[in-house]
Structure 1
Amino acid sequence: MAISLHSIPSLSPSFRGFNLNHPSMPCFSISPNPPRHPCFSCRPATIFPRAASSGSASLVSTSDSLTSSLGKVEVYDLNGNAVPLSDLWRDRKAVVAFARHFGCVLCRKRADLLASEKEAMDAAGVALVLIGPGSVDQARKFVEQTKFKGEVYADPKYSSYNALSFVSGVLSTFTPSAGLKIIQLYMEGYRQDWDLSFEKETRTKGGWLQGGILVAGPGINNISYLHKDKEAGDDPDIKDIMKACCL
């Protein structure tokens, strides 16, 4: 899809934050008639400059309350089997990315960025995991569409997001920097999956949640790095993630 930069100041109201046909929908579009089918570019990934408002990311001194909360969380694999969240890093180190939702265009870019480092993660014995707030069916569609190289799990109850106290809300979803990133991603060929985005659970819950990235293990209490997005598309520096997981 070609985009004229001269048209950017007059973007439709849906880009400013709300789709007029679906006023509760927390997503972005850059045209009045957004594409209904995802399309992905094979071009090399572009790393966005780290924003000054980047979310918290640091070595973590794990509290008993956090590990206790995470220990109660279950996610679901692509076969629908329940898996304790902490089992994902009990016997190994893992980079765990939490997506806003499975249709999110910003999350698909982040998934590609992390997957570009999977060879180095494999060499260091580190697992790459992505969790999304949605159903197992949505998780399967995400894998089918993106060909994501890591493990994918669904969190239909949003339990992991609540345990980690991720940011949620309209003001953290619709920001100028997120809008500019979405324009760039569309120009690269990425697309929001509108079928997934318009499903009720995503529209009313998951679409307002921000995600993050966690590096943990081996050992359920061994959380060494945690980034919480302050806004949609608040990507941490990939070098910080690799330093935490693989050095």
Structure 2
Amino acid sequence: MASMDRGLHGPLVPQPDVYIPSPDQGFDFDAVKDLVIWDQFGNRKRFHTLYQETKTIIIFVRHFLCYVCKEYVEDLAKIPRDYLQEAKVRLVVIGCAPHTYIREFRQETRFPHEFYCDPDRDLHKALGLRLDGTHGKASPHVKSSVISGVLQSTWRAVKSMHYQGDMMQQGGQFIVGPGKKLHYAWRDRNSQDHTSVNQLLAEAGVQQINLPNDPRIIQV
């Protein structure tokens, strides 16, 4: 029997019965290691190469027109490279849009770190990331109100004239590696349920930042 979920502005829609791990449940390394992600140039990469040699913070975001994700990634962009290098930690963001939209999204967010896409959402599904349109509130990284945020997203959509990822897909955050080591796992239950930037840094053993006043923040 299919369940029913309500999107932010849409009607009830049927959802398939799928197993959704709890937010802090584990990470099936064998199920995901050979799944393919894409960089902004259309090059393929096996997922396990992101963490097989180093500890890696991996952040899954929603569609690229989502103002919540844009503002979250804007704060992730403020993490200095040398903080990560000193801790020997890699930072990666993965979206669910076609790879052709990565460059524009990175320019909008000024994100200088690694960015990939999982356009068919095979990786999202294998990791049990939720598929529903629930909209959350109270993220410390979201500065816009719902009204101004939706207007921004709508304007960006009008300019693009294309959907940039599944609007029902939720994200998640993981810290893994090197090899089959899981340090942290969180699956977003709604659009603003993501782990705060400084909590992720603390979990990964990286120096935390002051938002927005850290003098070592790289402005790109």
- TM exceeds 0.5? yes
Percent of aligned positions that are identical: 22
- Alignment partner of 1:129 out of 92, 95, 116: 92
CA contact (8 A) 2:59 2:94 kept: yes
Identify the residue that residue 203 of structure 2 maps to in structure 1: 244
Deviation beyond 3 Å, 4+ runs, structure 1: 174-178, 181-188, 195-198
Is the Cα contact below 8 Å between 1:99 and 1:130 reproduced in 2?
A: yes
Whether 2:175 is the aligned partner of 1:184: answer no
Equivalenced residues, count: 185
Q: Separation in 2 of the partners of 1:187 and 1:61?
A: 36
Aligned AA for 1:184? S
| Residue of structure 1 equivalent to 2:35 | 73
Q: Tell me whether 1:208 sits opposite 2:141 in the alignment.
A: no
Residues 99 and 107 of structure 1 are in contact (CA less than 8 Å); yes or no, is this contact kept in structure 2?
yes
Work out which of the residue numbers 123, 129, 132 in structure 2 matches 1:166: 129
Which residue of structure 2 lines up, in the alignment, with residue 104 of structure 1? 66
Greater share of residues in helix: 1
Q: Which runs of 5+ in 1 are unaligned?
A: 1-15, 25-54
Q: 1:17 corresponds to which letter in structure 2?
A: L
TM-score by structure 2 length? Answer: 0.72
**Distance (whole Å) between structure 2 residues aligned to residue 17 and residue 129 of structure 1:** 28
Root-mean-square deviation (CA, aligned residues, Å) is 3.0
Cα shift at 1:100: 0.5
**Do 2:101 and 2:164's aligned partners in 1 also have CA atoms closer than 8 Å?**
no
User: Counterpart of 1:207 in 2: which secondary structure?
Assistant: coil
CA shift, 1:79, in A, is: 1.5
Q: Equivalent of 2:185, from 226, 229, 238?
A: 226
Give the structure-1-normalised TM-score.
Answer: 0.65
1:43-92 CA-partner distances (Å, limit 9, x unpaired): xxxxxxxxxxxx834xx655xxx111111311001111110111111111
Paired with 1:161 and 1:61, the residues of 2 have a C-alpha distance of 14
